[in-house]
Structure 1
Amino acid sequence: MAEKNPDNALAWIAVSAGALQRADGRWLMHRRPAGKHHAGLWEFPGGKVEPSEKPTECLVRELREELGIGLDTINLVPAGFAEGAGENAGSAIVILLYTARRWEGEPQALEGGAVGWFTPAEIARLDKPPLDSLLAAQLFGGVGAA
């Protein structure tokens, strides 16, 4: 998973994120809840990959916990990645983005915040964390960038 530096701190943290697309072509974005880093900003939902997990397994777990939906790893397609410096010059973050067009259940914001369905042009106008802006630009060919 993550490489360690000589000071025994993680050099980078792997995060899996999902870009869910409905049949009508709209994409799900998750609004970060109050009290969390990047509170109020819109992101592709997901979370940190645990040492015992593959990135796709992490995403299945995170979307079940955050959105209450069921996914099969076979329905996850790699779509891109973004890398950035961590908070306060901490470990770098690498977000691995996957798309999914099939899942079970209706996504809900189970941990606070909100969910919404947007076109790529609407996503471009949402306030997003920097790495999510990069991921949107990759996914939508520049249309979803801030």
Structure 2
Amino acid sequence: MLVVAGALLGEDGRWLMHRRPFDKHHGGLWEFPGGKVEVSEIPVKALIRELHEELGIEIEAADCEPFCFAENSPENGNPHIVILLYILRRWSGSPQALEGGELGWFTPAETDSLAKPPLDEVLTARLFAPGAEG
């Protein structure tokens, strides 16, 4: 399964994270917003669609900076998942949690204390590693 996620960087240097609704898989955990790439989509178009649906923001393909990816090792019947992370420094609108959960803006250090799904742990470690482009 191919998934896209957006790391939105605010003007104050904090990053947007979404807390999943408690009644969903990984409920209560913090993640970068995004979602599944549909069969007929390319990843960047899926990211534009997902962030509009989830956050109510508009983004341009040119503002989606591919950064890194993370993937799991499928076991115990779990699907193989690959998450492509894009950095976003520009968008139109004010992000809102339109599909439930909550949003928060965090410094890289603050994200360390957030409970996250395993693949988002990998993504934040790569994004906030010393010398990373984020």
| TM-score between both structures, scaled by the size of structure 1 | 0.86
- Please show how residues 10-49 of structure 1 align to structure 2 within 5 Å: 13-49=1-37
Residue 35 of structure 1 aligns to a residue whose secondary structure is coil
Distance in 1 (alpha carbons) for counterparts of 2:51 and 2:74: 23
Aligned match of 1:135: 123
Unaligned runs of 5+ in 2: none
The one-letter code sitting in structure 1 at the alignment partner of 2:43 is: P
Aligned match of 1:69: 57
Runs (4 or more) in structure 1 with deviation over 3 Å come to: 85-88
Residue 92 of structure 1 aligns to a residue whose secondary structure is coil
Distance in 2 (alpha carbons) for counterparts of 1:114 and 1:92: 27
Q: Which has the larger radius of gyration?
A: 1
Identical aligned pairs, as a percentage? 62
Aligned match of 1:78: 66
Is residue 124 from structure 1 mapped to residue 134 from structure 2 by the alignment?
no
Unaligned runs of 5+ in 1: 1-12
Offset at 1:53? 0.5
Offset at 1:85? 3.5
Say which is worse superposed, 112-121 or 81-90, in terms of deviation. Answer: 81-90
For residues 125-144 of structure 1, the C-alpha deviation after alignment (integer angstroms, 9 at most, x for no partner) is 100000000000110007xx
Residue 40 of structure 2 aligns to a residue whose secondary structure is coil
Aligned match of 2:84: 96
Residue 122 of structure 2 aligns to a residue whose secondary structure is helix
| TM-score between both structures, scaled by the size of structure 2 | 0.93
Bigger relative CO (Cα 8 Å, ≥ 6 apart): 2
The one-letter code sitting in structure 1 at the alignment partner of 2:97 is: A
Residue 66 of structure 1 aligns to a residue whose secondary structure is helix
Offset at 1:35? 1.2
Residue 62 of structure 2 aligns to a residue whose secondary structure is helix
Distance in 2 (alpha carbons) for counterparts of 1:103 and 1:38: 27
Distance in 2 (alpha carbons) for counterparts of 1:63 and 1:138: 21
Distance in 2 (alpha carbons) for counterparts of 1:87 and 1:72: 36
Distance in 1 (alpha carbons) for counterparts of 2:50 and 2:76: 25
